[in-house]
């Protein structure tokens, strides 16, 4: 007897997990600087921290911003 793998199309969707919020963060890209903004669900707060960092360190004006959330994949009704 031979084992078989049955592949079927199953429709799914992906969305933000209802119990999560998107979080923004940023880190300075200047040389060896290791400064990072405190992550926040409000990107405006992260941007304010970046501008404050640049205000104190003139040449530190480039940042890597990251947006992260928790995703949830659901099988669509009726899919088998
Ligand atoms: Zn910096």
Residue 47 is given by DSSP the state H
Q: Which structure tokens are listed for 37?
A: 């903004």
CA distance linking residue 80 with residue 11, whole number of Å: 9
| Rounded distance from Cα 60 to ligand 1 centre (Å) | 5
Predicted pLDDT of residue 2: 60
Task: Indicate the domain borders of the chain.
Answer: 16-75
| Rounded distance from Cα 18 to ligand 1 centre (Å) | 35
Predicted pLDDT of residue 49: 98
| Rounded distance from Cα 35 to ligand 1 centre (Å) | 5
CB 59, CB 79: distance < 8 Å: no
Residue closest to 35 by CA, chosen among 51, 23, 20, 19? 51
Q: In Å, how far from its chain's centre is CA 69?
A: 5
Element housing 73 (H / E): strand 71-75
Predicted pLDDT of residue 73: 94
List, for residues 18-56, the tens digit of each pLDDT value.
Answer: 999 999 999 999 999 999 999 999 999 999 999 999 999
Given a cut of 80, whether residue 4 has pLDDT beyond it is: no
């Amino acid at each position: 007897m031979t084992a078989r793998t049955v592949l079927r199309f199953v429709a799914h969707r992906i969305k933000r997990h209802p119990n999560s919020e998107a979080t923004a963060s940023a880190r300075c890209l200047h040389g060896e600087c290791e400064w990072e903004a405190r992550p926040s669900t409000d990107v405006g707060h992260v941007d304010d921290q970046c501008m404050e960092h640049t205000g104190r360190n003139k040449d530190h004006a480039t940042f890597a911003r990251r947006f992260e959330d928790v995703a949830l994949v659901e099988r669509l009704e009726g899919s088998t």
